[in-house]
Amino acid sequence: MTPDSTTPPPAAFDREVTSPDAPADVVPDAAPPAPLLSLRDGLPPLTETPPGLVDACRALAAASGPVAIDAERASGYRYSSRAYLIQLRREGAGTFLVDPIGFDSLDPLQEALAGTEWILHAATQDLACLAEVGLVPSALFDTELAGRLLGYPRVGLATLVETLLGYSMKKEHSAADWSTRPLPGPWLEYAALDVEVLVELRDVLAAELVAAGKDEWARQEFDALRSFTPATRSEPWRRTSGLHRVRGRRLLGAVRELWETRDELAQERDVSPGRIIGDNAIVAAAMAMPTTRSELLSTRGFHGRGAQRYSDRWLEALERASTMPEDELPVRAPRTDGPPTPRAWAERDPVAAERLTLARDAVTTLSDELGVPAENLVSPDTVRRVMWTPPAPEAAAVADRLTSYGARAWQVELVTPLLVDAIAAAGPADQPEDLSVDGPTDLPADQPEG
């Protein structure tokens, strides 16, 4: 579970603040700190044997209501994004902590959960690793996404639990290496707490969605999440932090060769790439192009076991880049199927730039009126694509275009009139051809390693 970085530290609740004008012996009333969430049923044993899994599946299948589910990965420690712990809780069954590493198959668990609604927080973080072990929901409720649709400014799990249920949550093990075995007891308690009140949180949010008339929007969003797959890039090395400092195709080739070498090593060892060498080392070596081990190890960032142990591999990568034929070297900005960056629109197509401004302003206004973040009303990339090569300013044409880019029915209904007006007000497009529909170009990249 991703930590809720926006939640104030506990010290903020403990500090007493007095007015400089108040008498020394008078302290203004302050809201008491929220009670710390604890496990109602105690810490459950770790399910790590076939008999234990059979018992867990039997209990979960016999219980009723939706199932709260979460997964812990070893982000920042391991190359893979696999789940190293799966937490489940269902009314009438209690909480189960399943170690997926100990099983060849979790098919019995998938069968036990068949037909149930899964409750997840920030579902896109966990769906892929759950699917990797054969766990796929038939229905789901995402508490983070529900909070966004309801206009909550902070939608981390800890914040929503405190705001809506009145409990504070522990966060001290949020960055732990969950591939550690055996898993320490305090870590298991922390993990169990992530699903302790998810059912209650879901019920409160569901009622608020109904009251706000947004329950159908949420249903469509949750249905769309079931087919979510993480975005991939054809050239992931271009996410290297600091790449903008590299000039020239050959130096770009050096970055690519070093990045791909690091990625191979990380995959072989199942460690996070940044734990071998950082992005800063890759960029520095590409710009310096050292040819000897001593020169390499004196390059900024090339220190530690990963730099020294694989020095021959790094030098080989640099050698490949230095001798590579010109036509095999990467270019600075690869062609994409999407529109150019918005800052270039005014020069390349002033009419398109005006359309985009009108559309963005209209979406922002509607976002404020509905209390829904603009990016949840419609993908910013979708708006750019439609405004760069717009259809006719007719509702049916714009609605078809939005649908082709993956907008849900509720989004199409709300946003279509805004985009029609923007297209009509700015005038017709200069480009005669449309872009191919090949997916968005601005999907969020993972945090660069290093």
Q: What is the pLDDT of residue 300?
A: 92
For residue 351, being part of any structural domain is answered with yes
Picking from 275, 293, 328, the residue at the C-terminal end of a domain is 328
Judge if 301 and 402 occupy the same domain.
no
Picking from 225, 256, 285, the residue at the C-terminal end of a domain is 225
> What does the alpha-carbon distance between residue 119 and residue 363 come to, in Å, rounded to a whole number?
30
The string of pLDDT tens digits covering residues 272-320 is 999 999 999 999 999 999 999 999 999 999 999 999 999 999 999 999 9
Judge if 174 and 242 occupy the same domain.
no
Backbone torsions φ then ψ of 310, nearest 5 degrees:
-115, 30
Judge if 48 and 171 occupy the same domain.
yes
Judge if 120 and 179 occupy the same domain.
yes
The Cβ-side half-sphere exposure at 96, using a 13 Å CA radius, reads: 26
> What does the alpha-carbon distance between residue 226 and residue 145 come to, in Å, rounded to a whole number?
13
Judge if 62 and 170 occupy the same domain.
yes
**Dihedral of alpha carbons 413, 419, 420, 421, sign:** positive
For residue 386, being part of any structural domain is answered with yes
Query: Between 30 and 238, whose confidence is greater?
Result: 238
The domain tally of the chain equals 3
For residue 2, being part of any structural domain is answered with no
Identify whether the C-beta of residue 143 lies closer than 8 Å to the C-beta of residue 120. yes
> What does the alpha-carbon distance between residue 447 and residue 422 come to, in Å, rounded to a whole number?
35
User: In the predicted model, is pLDDT for residue 15 greater than 60?
Assistant: no
Please return the burial class of 134, using the count of CB atoms within 10 Å of its CB with bins 0-12, 13-18 and 19+. middle
The string of pLDDT tens digits covering residues 110-152 is 999 999 999 999 999 999 999 999 999 999 999 999 999 999 9
> What does the alpha-carbon distance between residue 38 and residue 192 come to, in Å, rounded to a whole number?
9
The Cβ-side half-sphere exposure at 160, using a 13 Å CA radius, reads: 30
Q: Which residue has the tokens 């039997």?
A: 58
User: In the predicted model, is pLDDT for residue 92 greater than 70?
Assistant: yes
Judge if 59 and 153 occupy the same domain.
yes
Domain at 42, CATH number: 3.30.420.10
Domain at 242, CATH number: 1.10.150.80
The strand pair at 85-90 and 94-98 is best described as: antiparallel
Q: Which residue has the tokens 């609740």?
A: 13
User: In the predicted model, is pLDDT for residue 30 greater than 90?
Assistant: no
**Dihedral of alpha carbons 198, 200, 206, 212, sign:** negative
Judge if 296 and 396 occupy the same domain.
no
Judge if 62 and 204 occupy the same domain.
yes
For residue 282, being part of any structural domain is answered with yes
The string of pLDDT tens digits covering residues 141-195 is 999 999 999 999 999 999 999 999 999 998 788 789 999 999 999 999 999 999 9
Residue 417: asked if its preceding bond is cis (omega within 30°), the reply is no
For residue 175, being part of any structural domain is answered with yes
User: In the predicted model, is pLDDT for residue 27 greater than 90?
Assistant: no
For residue 441, being part of any structural domain is answered with no
| Type of residue numbered 89 | R
Q: Which residue has the tokens 């922002």?
A: 364
Judge if 214 and 317 occupy the same domain.
no
| Type of residue numbered 18 | T
Beta bridge partners of 47: 98
Its domain, for residue 122, covers 31-225
Tell me which DSSP letter residue 161 carries.
Answer: I
For residue 120, what is the enclosing H or E element? Answer: strand 117-120
User: In the predicted model, is pLDDT for residue 46 greater than 90?
Assistant: yes
Q: Which residue has the tokens 């600075």?
A: 332
For residue 98, being part of any structural domain is answered with yes
For residue 134, being part of any structural domain is answered with yes
Q: pTM here? A: 0.85
Per-residue confidence band for 447, with pLDDT thresholds at 50, 70 and 90: very low
Q: What is the pLDDT of residue 60?
A: 98
Judge if 208 and 241 occupy the same domain.
no
Tell me which DSSP letter residue 181 carries.
Answer: S
Judge if 251 and 210 occupy the same domain.
no
> What does the alpha-carbon distance between residue 157 and residue 37 come to, in Å, rounded to a whole number?
12
Judge if 298 and 399 occupy the same domain.
no
Picking from 273, 304, 328, the residue at the C-terminal end of a domain is 328
Q: What is the maximum span of the chain, computed from C-alpha positions, in angstroms?
A: 80
Span 433-444, mean pLDDT?
Answer: 40
